[in-house]
């Protein structure tokens, strides 16, 4: 159930719709909606489906309706479900690697999935707007705001608005996880040296260079991993594993954002758990628990579940990039430990995804480089 995410644009008075449409023109929010949902599944009510201009490209549409048979002729990317439980079951059975489920409206859908959702992508429209559809009562007392980006009025946006990303958990920086200071720098240096990597340690309170996720998380630039005593060991391993899995040309270009596709990201998560066995007093179980506490999210329900049952595609990538012999050496436990049964037998449904938002300054710089603008004329409905 943790796989459900809500995405909604809401005015200051709670309005989300009028006459079956959006009551504003916000091109920036539509681009945000497209970037976030492309390649994933959309859960919506019948009226929201009818308000769309048609099937949105490169997304599966799950329409919740008790009045339409699932056997009715439908586009191949659309399916009907009679309940939220049926919709979620269908999604979990058919989801591809890394695929996410977004609830996009209307009000009744948001109300039904509120207690089942792990993430909220909320666009606050800074205006009082007339409308006939309202978001249910917004209680964020048990949610944590990960990121917030404000956008001003211009010729393509009728009102100023702020895009916020919330998750239903505590601030991950306040949880108790194993840090580099707990482990000590000498074993960390030895481990990274095995893969031709270095570590540069920042003094307490000093900035961590090249961090994508924001301090105290680790940074990466070329063959150097940047960290501090309070950097979580899972974060240092995560950035190091990105560098381990790329070729020399990509490693030389690494700077803040490691890039890579979802399969590579999944492989990084597997490898960081395996390498944790090489650090005294850590081990894969501790790092997996830290990943869960910090906010990593897996369809298998936990990092350990992902490693043991749901990462076939990740293992294939590791084998191809590192070689079978190297992978076998890495995945065996420390001398004297119980041998690990590491390769899952099931087919992989995928997917790991980091829940934290990147450091806002670095994210702005990266957006300019990545050219995230949609194709001309490719704007879409968001709810």
| Mean pLDDT for all residues in the chain | 82
pTM across the whole model: 0.54
| Strand bridging mode 60-64 / 161-167 | unpaired
Interval 146-158: pLDDT, tens:
778 889 999 999 9
- For residue 138, name the pLDDT band (cuts at 50, 70, 90): confident
pLDDT, position 54: 87
- For residue 169, name the pLDDT band (cuts at 50, 70, 90): low
Interval 13-35: pLDDT, tens:
999 999 989 999 999 999 999 99
Interval 254-284: pLDDT, tens:
999 888 887 898 999 999 999 999 999 999 9
Residue 69 has pLDDT above 60, yes or no: no
211-218: long-range contacts (C-beta < 8 A, 24 or more apart)? 211/256, 211/359, 211/362, 212/256, 212/257, 212/258, 212/358, 212/359, 212/362, 212/363, 213/354, 213/356, 213/358, 213/359, 214/356, 214/358, 214/359, 214/360, 215/359, 216/173, 217/356
The residue-averaged pLDDT of 349-374 equals 34
Cβ atoms of 302 and 284 closer than 8 Å = no
Residue 136 has pLDDT above 80, yes or no: yes
Interval 284-308: pLDDT, tens:
999 999 998 887 877 666 888 888 8
The residue-averaged pLDDT of 172-194 equals 90
Interval 219-254: pLDDT, tens:
999 999 999 999 999 999 999 999 999 999 999 999
Distance separating alpha carbons of residues 210 and 46, to the nearest angstrom? 45
Please give the CATH superfamily to which domain 4-168 belongs.
Dihydrofolate Reductase, subunit A (3.40.430.10)
Q: Which tokens is 302 given?
A: 């936990």
Task: Look at 318 and 3; give whichever has higher pLDDT.
Answer: 318
Please state the domain extents for the chain. Answer: 4-168, 176-353
The residue-averaged pLDDT of 47-61 equals 91
pLDDT, position 260: 84
Cβ atoms of 214 and 231 closer than 8 Å = no
Interval 308-360: pLDDT, tens:
888 888 999 999 999 999 998 888 754 333 334 444 433 333 444 343 333 33
Interval 88-134: pLDDT, tens:
888 888 888 778 999 999 999 999 999 888 889 999 999 999 999 99
């Amino acid at each position: 159930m943790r796989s459900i995410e809500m995405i909604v644009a809401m005015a200051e008075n709670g309005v989300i719709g009028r006459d079956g449409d959006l009551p504003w023109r916000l091109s920036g929010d539509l681009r945000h909606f497209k970037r976030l949902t492309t390649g994933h599944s959309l859960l919506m009510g019948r009226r929201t489906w009818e308000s769309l201009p048609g099937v949105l490209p490169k997304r599966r549409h799950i329409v919740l309706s008790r009045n339409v048979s699932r056997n009715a002729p439908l586009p191949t990317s659309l399916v009907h479900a009679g309940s939220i439980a049926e919709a979620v079951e269908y999604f979990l059975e058919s989801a591809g690697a890394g695929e996410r489920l977004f609830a996009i409206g209307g009000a009744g859908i948001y109300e039904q999935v509120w207690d089942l959702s792990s993430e909220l992508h909320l666009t606050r429209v800074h205006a009082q707007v007339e409308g006939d559809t309202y978001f249910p009562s917004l209680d964020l007392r048990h949610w944590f705001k990960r990121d917030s980006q404000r956008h001003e009025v211009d010729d393509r946006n009728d009102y100023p608005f702020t895009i916020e990303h919330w998750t239903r958990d505590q601030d991950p920086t306040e949880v108790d996880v194993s840090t580099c200071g707990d482990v000590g720098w000498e074993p960390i240096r030895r481990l990274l040296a095995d893969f031709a990597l270095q570590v540069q340690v920042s003094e307490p309170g000093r900035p961590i260079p090249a961090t994508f996720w924001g301090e105290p998380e680790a940074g990466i630039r070329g063959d150097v991993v940047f960290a501090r005593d309070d950097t979580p060991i899972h974060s240092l391993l995560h950035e190091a594993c990105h560098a381990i899995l790329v070729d020399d040309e990509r490693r030389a270009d690494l700077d803040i954002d490691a890039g890579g596709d979802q399969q590579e990201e999944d492989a990084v998560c597997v490898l960081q758990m395996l390498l944790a066995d090489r650090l005294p007093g850590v081990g894969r179980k501790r790092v997996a628990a830290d990943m869960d506490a910090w906010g990593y999210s897996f369809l298998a329900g936990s990092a350990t579940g992902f490693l043991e049952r749901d990462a076939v595609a990740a293992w294939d990538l590791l084998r191809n990039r590192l070689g079978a012999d190297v992978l076998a050496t890495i995945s065996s436990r420390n001398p004297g430990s119980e041998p690990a049964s590491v390769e899952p037998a099931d087919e992989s449904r995928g997917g790991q995804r980091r829940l934290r938002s990147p450091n806002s300054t670095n994210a702005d710089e990266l957006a300019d480089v990545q050219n995230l603008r949609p194709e001309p004329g490719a704007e879409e409905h968001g709810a």
